[in-house]
A and B are shown apart, each in its own frame.
Chain A
Amino acid sequence: MRQKRAPLTTQGRLAWLAGVLIIAGIVHLCSILIMPQIAPNTPYARIAARTPVNRFVLLPPVAPGESALPFEDPAMALGACRFDLTRGPVRLRGQLAADALVLLSFHGRTAQTFYAMTDRSALRGAIDVVVATRDQLDEIESHDTEDELPQELRLEAPSLQGFMLVRALAERPSLMGEARERLSSLSCEG
Protein backbone atom coordinates (compact mmCIF):
# COMPACT_ATOMS: atom_id res chain seq x y z
CA MET A 1 0.00 0.00 0.00
CA ARG A 2 1.27 3.44 -0.99
CA GLN A 3 1.88 5.71 1.90
CA LYS A 4 -0.11 8.94 1.87
CA ARG A 5 2.14 11.94 1.22
CA ALA A 6 2.79 13.89 4.35
CA PRO A 7 1.54 17.51 4.38
CA LEU A 8 4.26 20.12 3.76
CA THR A 9 6.43 20.75 6.74
CA THR A 10 7.32 24.32 7.67
CA GLN A 11 10.74 23.73 6.25
CA GLY A 12 9.26 22.54 2.95
CA ARG A 13 7.06 25.63 2.69
CA LEU A 14 10.01 27.90 3.35
CA ALA A 15 11.95 26.19 0.57
CA TRP A 16 9.18 26.86 -1.94
CA LEU A 17 8.82 30.44 -0.71
CA ALA A 18 12.56 30.93 -1.18
CA GLY A 19 12.16 29.55 -4.70
CA VAL A 20 9.43 32.09 -5.47
CA LEU A 21 11.58 34.94 -4.13
CA ILE A 22 14.65 33.90 -6.07
CA ILE A 23 12.67 33.69 -9.32
CA ALA A 24 11.02 37.03 -8.54
CA GLY A 25 14.45 38.59 -8.04
CA ILE A 26 15.79 37.23 -11.31
CA VAL A 27 12.69 38.31 -13.28
CA HIS A 28 12.80 41.76 -11.68
CA LEU A 29 16.48 42.37 -12.44
CA CYS A 30 16.20 41.06 -16.01
CA SER A 31 13.17 43.21 -16.77
CA ILE A 32 14.88 46.33 -15.39
CA LEU A 33 18.03 45.67 -17.39
CA ILE A 34 16.22 44.94 -20.65
CA MET A 35 13.77 47.86 -20.36
CA PRO A 36 15.86 50.35 -22.43
CA GLN A 37 15.84 47.84 -25.31
CA ILE A 38 12.15 46.94 -25.24
CA ALA A 39 10.37 50.12 -24.06
CA PRO A 40 8.23 51.37 -26.97
CA ASN A 41 8.43 55.07 -26.18
CA THR A 42 12.10 55.74 -25.62
CA PRO A 43 13.32 59.25 -26.42
CA TYR A 44 14.99 57.84 -29.53
CA ALA A 45 11.75 56.19 -30.72
CA ARG A 46 9.85 59.44 -30.22
CA ILE A 47 12.43 61.46 -32.13
CA ALA A 48 12.67 58.82 -34.87
CA ALA A 49 8.92 58.98 -35.43
CA ARG A 50 9.10 62.72 -36.09
CA THR A 51 12.36 63.44 -37.84
CA PRO A 52 14.23 62.36 -40.97
CA VAL A 53 17.68 60.85 -40.63
CA ASN A 54 20.88 62.95 -40.70
CA ARG A 55 19.04 66.25 -41.05
CA PHE A 56 18.53 68.98 -38.50
CA VAL A 57 14.88 69.89 -38.11
CA LEU A 58 12.93 72.13 -35.77
CA LEU A 59 10.39 70.30 -33.62
CA PRO A 60 6.93 71.81 -33.17
CA PRO A 61 6.59 74.12 -30.14
CA VAL A 62 5.72 72.35 -26.90
CA ALA A 63 1.96 72.74 -26.41
CA PRO A 64 -0.80 70.85 -24.57
CA GLY A 65 -1.45 67.63 -26.43
CA GLU A 66 1.50 68.15 -28.77
CA SER A 67 4.96 67.44 -27.55
CA ALA A 68 7.66 65.35 -29.13
CA LEU A 69 9.06 64.54 -25.68
CA PRO A 70 7.47 64.58 -22.21
CA PHE A 71 8.60 67.10 -19.58
CA GLU A 72 10.05 69.48 -22.15
CA ASP A 73 10.11 73.12 -21.16
CA PRO A 74 7.50 75.15 -23.11
CA ALA A 75 9.90 78.10 -22.93
CA MET A 76 12.37 76.19 -25.12
CA ALA A 77 12.50 76.03 -28.90
CA LEU A 78 13.53 72.49 -29.85
CA GLY A 79 15.51 71.13 -32.74
CA ALA A 80 16.81 67.63 -33.37
CA CYS A 81 19.06 65.73 -35.70
CA ARG A 82 18.59 61.98 -35.69
CA PHE A 83 21.81 60.38 -36.80
CA ASP A 84 22.78 57.09 -38.35
CA LEU A 85 26.52 56.46 -38.56
CA THR A 86 26.31 53.38 -40.79
CA ARG A 87 27.56 55.31 -43.80
CA GLY A 88 29.94 57.64 -42.01
CA PRO A 89 30.26 60.32 -39.31
CA VAL A 90 27.60 63.01 -38.88
CA ARG A 91 28.48 66.65 -38.33
CA LEU A 92 26.44 69.33 -36.57
CA ARG A 93 27.43 72.85 -37.57
CA GLY A 94 26.13 76.33 -37.17
CA GLN A 95 26.62 79.79 -35.79
CA LEU A 96 24.90 80.92 -32.60
CA ALA A 97 24.54 84.67 -32.66
CA ALA A 98 23.56 86.30 -29.38
CA ASP A 99 24.45 85.49 -25.80
CA ALA A 100 21.24 83.57 -25.26
CA LEU A 101 20.93 80.16 -23.68
CA VAL A 102 21.27 77.22 -26.06
CA LEU A 103 21.66 73.64 -24.78
CA LEU A 104 23.06 70.86 -26.92
CA SER A 105 22.92 67.20 -25.95
CA PHE A 106 23.91 63.97 -27.70
CA HIS A 107 22.09 60.73 -27.10
CA GLY A 108 22.48 57.08 -28.00
CA ARG A 109 19.62 54.72 -28.76
CA THR A 110 18.96 53.66 -25.19
CA ALA A 111 18.33 56.81 -23.18
CA GLN A 112 21.97 57.67 -22.70
CA THR A 113 23.31 61.17 -22.84
CA PHE A 114 26.84 60.77 -24.07
CA TYR A 115 27.66 64.46 -24.24
CA ALA A 116 26.04 67.74 -23.27
CA MET A 117 27.13 71.35 -23.58
CA THR A 118 25.78 74.90 -23.68
CA ASP A 119 26.42 77.78 -26.07
CA ARG A 120 29.06 79.00 -23.57
CA SER A 121 31.42 76.23 -24.63
CA ALA A 122 31.11 77.15 -28.31
CA LEU A 123 34.10 79.04 -29.63
CA ARG A 124 32.85 82.54 -30.66
CA GLY A 125 29.38 81.05 -31.09
CA ALA A 126 30.51 78.47 -33.65
CA ILE A 127 29.11 74.98 -33.26
CA ASP A 128 31.06 72.25 -35.03
CA VAL A 129 30.63 68.75 -33.64
CA VAL A 130 31.46 65.47 -35.33
CA VAL A 131 29.72 62.35 -34.05
CA ALA A 132 31.37 59.11 -35.10
CA THR A 133 32.03 55.53 -34.12
CA ARG A 134 35.39 54.53 -32.63
CA ASP A 135 36.59 53.17 -35.99
CA GLN A 136 35.52 56.31 -37.84
CA LEU A 137 37.29 58.46 -35.23
CA ASP A 138 40.49 56.46 -35.72
CA GLU A 139 40.17 57.02 -39.46
CA ILE A 140 39.70 60.79 -38.99
CA GLU A 141 42.62 60.98 -36.55
CA SER A 142 44.92 59.20 -38.97
CA HIS A 143 44.54 62.22 -41.32
CA ASP A 144 45.34 64.78 -38.61
CA THR A 145 48.59 66.63 -39.01
CA GLU A 146 50.75 67.22 -35.98
CA ASP A 147 50.97 71.00 -36.17
CA GLU A 148 47.30 71.71 -36.73
CA LEU A 149 44.78 71.12 -33.97
CA PRO A 150 41.36 69.88 -35.06
CA GLN A 151 38.82 72.71 -35.16
CA GLU A 152 35.82 70.55 -34.45
CA LEU A 153 34.71 68.72 -31.34
CA ARG A 154 34.79 64.97 -31.90
CA LEU A 155 32.46 62.67 -30.02
CA GLU A 156 32.35 58.91 -29.94
CA ALA A 157 28.77 57.63 -30.16
CA PRO A 158 27.84 54.60 -28.02
CA SER A 159 25.58 53.24 -30.77
CA LEU A 160 25.24 53.60 -34.55
CA GLN A 161 21.92 55.36 -34.16
CA GLY A 162 21.08 58.19 -31.84
CA PHE A 163 20.05 61.81 -31.85
CA MET A 164 21.21 65.30 -31.02
CA LEU A 165 18.78 67.58 -29.24
CA VAL A 166 19.19 71.35 -29.24
CA ARG A 167 17.11 73.61 -26.99
CA ALA A 168 17.07 77.41 -27.26
CA LEU A 169 15.48 79.45 -24.49
CA ALA A 170 12.84 82.07 -25.30
CA GLU A 171 13.11 84.38 -22.29
CA ARG A 172 9.56 85.59 -22.96
CA PRO A 173 6.79 83.92 -24.95
CA SER A 174 7.06 86.72 -27.52
CA LEU A 175 10.69 85.75 -28.18
CA MET A 176 9.85 82.17 -29.23
CA GLY A 177 10.13 83.09 -32.91
CA GLU A 178 13.57 84.53 -32.31
CA ALA A 179 14.64 81.39 -30.41
CA ARG A 180 13.53 79.17 -33.29
CA GLU A 181 15.39 81.46 -35.65
CA ARG A 182 18.56 80.94 -33.60
CA LEU A 183 18.27 77.18 -34.10
CA SER A 184 17.57 77.35 -37.80
CA SER A 185 21.20 78.29 -38.50
CA LEU A 186 22.21 74.76 -37.45
CA SER A 187 22.61 71.98 -39.95
CA CYS A 188 23.40 68.31 -39.85
CA GLU A 189 25.46 66.60 -42.55
CA GLY A 190 25.76 62.87 -42.93
Chain B
Amino acid sequence: MSLFPKILATALAGAVLGLGATYASLTRGIGFEAVKAGPWRGTPQISVVGGDPYARARVSRSGQVLLGTAEGLSFSAAVDSTGARLRTGCDYRVSGATPVARNWTLGLARPDGTLIATPFARYGFTSSELLRDARGDFHIDIARAARPGNWLPLPGEGDFLLVLRLYDSPHSTSAKTLEARELPTINAERCS
Protein backbone atom coordinates (compact mmCIF):
# COMPACT_ATOMS: atom_id res chain seq x y z
CA MET B 1 0.00 0.00 0.00
CA SER B 2 1.45 3.36 -0.92
CA LEU B 3 1.42 6.29 1.41
CA PHE B 4 -1.60 8.29 0.20
CA PRO B 5 -4.29 5.59 0.55
CA LYS B 6 -2.81 4.72 3.90
CA ILE B 7 -3.19 8.29 5.16
CA LEU B 8 -6.71 8.42 3.76
CA ALA B 9 -7.64 5.17 5.47
CA THR B 10 -6.18 6.43 8.74
CA ALA B 11 -8.14 9.69 8.53
CA LEU B 12 -11.34 7.86 7.66
CA ALA B 13 -10.96 5.32 10.44
CA GLY B 14 -10.20 8.14 12.87
CA ALA B 15 -13.26 10.13 11.80
CA VAL B 16 -15.56 7.12 12.08
CA LEU B 17 -14.17 6.21 15.48
CA GLY B 18 -14.41 9.82 16.71
CA LEU B 19 -17.98 10.33 15.54
CA GLY B 20 -18.90 6.93 16.93
CA ALA B 21 -17.57 7.97 20.32
CA THR B 22 -19.61 11.19 20.08
CA TYR B 23 -22.75 9.27 19.21
CA ALA B 24 -22.20 6.81 22.04
CA SER B 25 -21.56 9.50 24.61
CA LEU B 26 -24.67 11.45 23.57
CA THR B 27 -27.10 8.56 23.37
CA ARG B 28 -25.84 6.45 26.24
CA GLY B 29 -24.80 9.23 28.52
CA ILE B 30 -21.20 8.05 28.73
CA GLY B 31 -19.02 10.81 30.05
CA PHE B 32 -22.10 12.69 31.20
CA GLU B 33 -22.19 14.48 34.49
CA ALA B 34 -25.19 13.09 36.35
CA VAL B 35 -26.37 12.72 39.90
CA LYS B 36 -27.01 9.13 40.93
CA ALA B 37 -29.21 7.98 43.79
CA GLY B 38 -30.45 4.40 43.69
CA PRO B 39 -32.26 3.86 40.38
CA TRP B 40 -32.57 7.63 39.83
CA ARG B 41 -30.36 9.70 37.55
CA GLY B 42 -30.51 13.45 38.00
CA THR B 43 -29.51 16.09 35.51
CA PRO B 44 -28.41 19.28 37.19
CA GLN B 45 -28.30 22.59 35.38
CA ILE B 46 -25.35 23.17 33.10
CA SER B 47 -23.31 26.16 34.10
CA VAL B 48 -23.27 29.03 31.64
CA VAL B 49 -19.54 29.48 31.56
CA GLY B 50 -17.30 26.47 31.47
CA GLY B 51 -19.23 23.44 32.59
CA ASP B 52 -19.39 20.06 30.99
CA PRO B 53 -19.28 20.23 27.16
CA TYR B 54 -20.77 16.74 27.02
CA ALA B 55 -23.77 17.84 29.03
CA ARG B 56 -24.22 20.87 26.79
CA ALA B 57 -23.97 18.80 23.60
CA ARG B 58 -26.42 16.26 24.92
CA VAL B 59 -28.96 18.85 25.98
CA SER B 60 -28.82 20.73 22.68
CA ARG B 61 -29.32 17.51 20.82
CA SER B 62 -32.25 16.34 22.96
CA GLY B 63 -33.91 19.76 23.03
CA GLN B 64 -34.68 19.41 26.73
CA VAL B 65 -34.77 22.50 28.92
CA LEU B 66 -33.19 21.45 32.21
CA LEU B 67 -34.44 22.91 35.45
CA GLY B 68 -32.20 25.66 36.77
CA THR B 69 -30.65 25.25 40.20
CA ALA B 70 -33.12 27.75 41.64
CA GLU B 71 -36.07 25.91 40.07
CA GLY B 72 -35.38 22.37 41.16
CA LEU B 73 -34.00 19.09 39.90
CA SER B 74 -35.45 16.33 37.77
CA PHE B 75 -34.59 12.65 37.90
CA SER B 76 -35.40 9.77 35.64
CA ALA B 77 -35.22 6.03 36.23
CA ALA B 78 -34.94 3.34 33.56
CA VAL B 79 -34.42 0.56 36.10
CA ASP B 80 -36.10 -0.50 39.34
CA SER B 81 -34.43 -0.45 42.75
CA THR B 82 -32.83 -3.86 42.14
CA GLY B 83 -31.29 -2.57 38.91
CA ALA B 84 -33.56 -4.55 36.54
CA ARG B 85 -34.83 -2.71 33.46
CA LEU B 86 -38.34 -1.30 33.70
CA ARG B 87 -40.66 -3.18 31.36
CA THR B 88 -44.32 -3.21 30.54
CA GLY B 89 -44.65 -6.85 31.58
CA CYS B 90 -44.37 -5.95 35.26
CA ASP B 91 -46.43 -3.98 37.72
CA TYR B 92 -44.45 -1.55 39.84
CA ARG B 93 -44.92 0.13 43.17
CA VAL B 94 -43.14 3.40 43.85
CA SER B 95 -43.05 4.17 47.53
CA GLY B 96 -41.19 6.13 50.08
CA ALA B 97 -41.09 9.16 52.24
CA THR B 98 -41.88 12.55 50.82
CA PRO B 99 -38.83 14.07 49.09
CA VAL B 100 -37.81 17.47 50.40
CA ALA B 101 -39.29 19.97 47.95
CA ARG B 102 -41.97 22.62 47.86
CA ASN B 103 -43.77 20.58 45.20
CA TRP B 104 -42.85 17.45 43.36
CA THR B 105 -44.34 15.33 40.63
CA LEU B 106 -43.86 11.76 39.44
CA GLY B 107 -44.88 10.50 36.03
CA LEU B 108 -44.01 8.32 33.07
CA ALA B 109 -42.34 9.26 29.80
CA ARG B 110 -40.87 7.59 26.74
CA PRO B 111 -37.05 7.55 26.59
CA ASP B 112 -37.19 10.38 24.00
CA GLY B 113 -39.12 12.57 26.44
CA THR B 114 -42.58 12.33 24.92
CA LEU B 115 -45.66 11.57 26.97
CA ILE B 116 -47.39 8.21 26.86
CA ALA B 117 -51.06 8.19 25.95
CA THR B 118 -52.99 6.68 28.85
CA PRO B 119 -56.66 6.31 29.71
CA PHE B 120 -58.16 9.31 31.56
CA ALA B 121 -55.17 11.46 30.57
CA ARG B 122 -53.51 10.50 33.87
CA TYR B 123 -49.82 11.16 33.21
CA GLY B 124 -48.50 11.52 36.72
CA PHE B 125 -49.12 12.68 40.26
CA THR B 126 -48.27 15.94 41.94
CA SER B 127 -47.32 15.94 45.62
CA SER B 128 -50.53 17.75 46.54
CA GLU B 129 -52.96 15.25 45.04
CA LEU B 130 -51.36 12.05 46.37
CA LEU B 131 -53.19 9.92 48.91
CA ARG B 132 -50.87 9.19 51.84
CA ASP B 133 -50.87 6.87 54.83
CA ALA B 134 -50.96 8.02 58.44
CA ARG B 135 -47.18 8.54 58.55
CA GLY B 136 -47.22 10.71 55.46
CA ASP B 137 -45.66 8.05 53.25
CA PHE B 138 -47.12 7.20 49.88
CA HIS B 139 -47.39 4.40 47.34
CA ILE B 140 -47.97 4.85 43.64
CA ASP B 141 -49.00 1.71 41.76
CA ILE B 142 -47.95 1.59 38.14
CA ALA B 143 -49.99 -1.17 36.59
CA ARG B 144 -52.15 -1.94 33.59
CA ALA B 145 -55.22 -2.85 35.63
CA ALA B 146 -56.84 -0.11 37.70
CA ARG B 147 -55.90 -0.10 41.40
CA PRO B 148 -57.43 1.69 44.36
CA GLY B 149 -55.33 4.54 45.71
CA ASN B 150 -52.68 6.22 43.63
CA TRP B 151 -52.75 4.43 40.29
CA LEU B 152 -50.73 5.30 37.20
CA PRO B 153 -51.71 3.36 34.08
CA LEU B 154 -48.81 1.43 32.57
CA PRO B 155 -48.39 1.64 28.79
CA GLY B 156 -49.20 -1.53 26.86
CA GLU B 157 -45.83 -1.68 25.16
CA GLY B 158 -42.52 0.04 24.56
CA ASP B 159 -39.78 1.36 26.79
CA PHE B 160 -40.61 3.89 29.45
CA LEU B 161 -38.96 5.92 32.16
CA LEU B 162 -40.14 7.13 35.52
CA VAL B 163 -39.60 10.85 35.88
CA LEU B 164 -39.40 12.48 39.30
CA ARG B 165 -39.24 16.26 39.47
CA LEU B 166 -38.44 18.13 42.67
CA TYR B 167 -39.41 21.79 42.47
CA ASP B 168 -37.93 24.49 44.65
CA SER B 169 -35.91 21.85 46.47
CA PRO B 170 -32.76 22.15 48.60
CA HIS B 171 -31.54 19.02 46.76
CA SER B 172 -30.85 20.97 43.61
CA THR B 173 -27.92 22.77 45.22
CA SER B 174 -26.63 19.80 47.19
CA ALA B 175 -27.49 17.12 44.65
CA LYS B 176 -24.02 15.58 44.72
CA THR B 177 -24.62 14.31 48.22
CA LEU B 178 -28.10 12.94 47.62
CA GLU B 179 -28.67 9.45 49.00
CA ALA B 180 -30.90 6.76 47.56
CA ARG B 181 -33.06 6.61 50.70
CA GLU B 182 -34.09 10.23 50.26
CA LEU B 183 -35.83 9.35 47.01
CA PRO B 184 -38.69 6.87 46.48
CA THR B 185 -37.95 3.20 45.77
CA ILE B 186 -39.23 1.39 42.68
CA ASN B 187 -40.19 -2.24 43.20
CA ALA B 188 -41.44 -4.76 40.66
CA GLU B 189 -44.49 -6.54 42.02
CA ARG B 190 -45.87 -9.04 39.56
CA CYS B 191 -44.17 -9.85 36.31
CA SER B 192 -45.76 -11.79 33.51
Contact = CB atoms under 8 A, between A and B. Distances in A.
Interface of A: 16, 19-33, 35-36, 39, 41-43, 45-46, 62-65, 67, 69-75, 101, 103, 105, 107-108, 110-118, 120-121, 158, 165, 167, 169-173
A19 B10 contact: yes
**Chain B interface extent, by class:** 35 or more
Contacts of A67: 113-115
Contacts, number: 188
B14 A101 contact: no
A70 B112 contact: yes
B102 interface: yes
Contacts of B93: none
Contact of A28 (B10, B21, B124): B21
A181 B34 CA distance: 35
A37 to B, nearest CB: 8
Contacts of B115: 62-65, 67, 74
B22 A116 contact: no
Contact of B17 (A20, A32, A112, A158): A20
B167 interface: yes
B124 to A, nearest CB: 6
A32 to B, nearest CB: 5
Contacts of A112: 46, 48, 56
Contacts of A158: 48
B56 A74 contact: no
23 contacts: A23-B17, A27-B18, A27-B19, A28-B17, A35-B57, A36-B56, A36-B60, A39-B60, A43-B60, A62-B115, A64-B115, A70-B62, A71-B64, A73-B124, A74-B115, A103-B71, A103-B72, A105-B67, A105-B71, A107-B65, A115-B68, A121-B70, A167-B71
